[in-house]
Amino acid sequence: MKNNIKSIYYVLVIVLSLFSITLAVLDISKIININVTPYIYLDRGILLFFCVDYVTRLIQSNNKKRFFKENIFDLLAIIPFDSIFYIFRTFRVLRLIKLLRLIRIVGFAGKIQKDIKRFFGTNGFIYLVISTIILIMIGAEIYSVAEGANYVNSLWWAIATTTTVGYGDISPHTEIGRVIAVILMILGIGLIGSVTSTVTAFFLDEKNNKEKEDLKHELHDIKTELKLLRQDINKK
């Protein structure tokens, strides 16, 4: 039960990090204004969540100095630079706020980049993803030629077929198109199964790595204490 809660919490951290990066990018691109409703509540809510997470882990940490060094990106992600400078509300400062949001993007990106890299490296999942993308693009091209459709619509059809969504707005009418459809369906089913197994393996590896890391830190603390104890004995 405890491990399931940790897994859910871990996924939540990754999802919220990606969501915060998306909000910051959209704000910098002037697609949205992150300081107006409802985006400001979403942004502040995510920031509060990670602030509580950081402070809680800091309090529970036995070695605060090491925790600070190992969680620089976490700290960058939660520092509210935009809130600090937004009170001035001048044009130049507002432009500076846009640039300061890049720091938050860097913070959240650094926070999850190792996890994303490790996830795609689990069970060679990255190679399956690359192969799937290549096959989708090739399948879309063959479909486009066989069905006489433009490539954009063919690519849309290939993606919908691979993900087994099957909207039905575009469907094959030739034998070649149907063969490609079958291949992409089988590919999609295999990809979904691989995602499930990769997620499971990822969290198992994460748990083992966490236990090894905790044990390593405990051994380091014990060695440090023994060293200090020897120094005290030698002084006496």
Phi-psi region of 89 (alpha: psi -120 to 50; beta: other; left: phi over 0): left
How much is the pTM?
A: 0.48
- pLDDT attached to residue 228: 72
Domains and CATH numbers, the chain: 2-119 (1.20.120)
Radius of gyration for the alpha carbons in the chain, expressed in angstroms and rounded: 25
Taking 70 as the pLDDT cut, the residues of the chain under it are 1-7, 80-104, 106, 109, 111, 113-115, 117-123, 199, 202-215, 217-218, 221, 232, 234-236
Cβ–Cβ contacts within 10 Å for residue 200, how many? 13
- pLDDT attached to residue 152: 87
Q: Read out DSSP for 45-86?
A: HHHHHHHHHHHHHHHH-S-HHHHHHHTHHHHHHH--HHHHHH
- pLDDT attached to residue 13: 79
- pLDDT attached to residue 67: 81
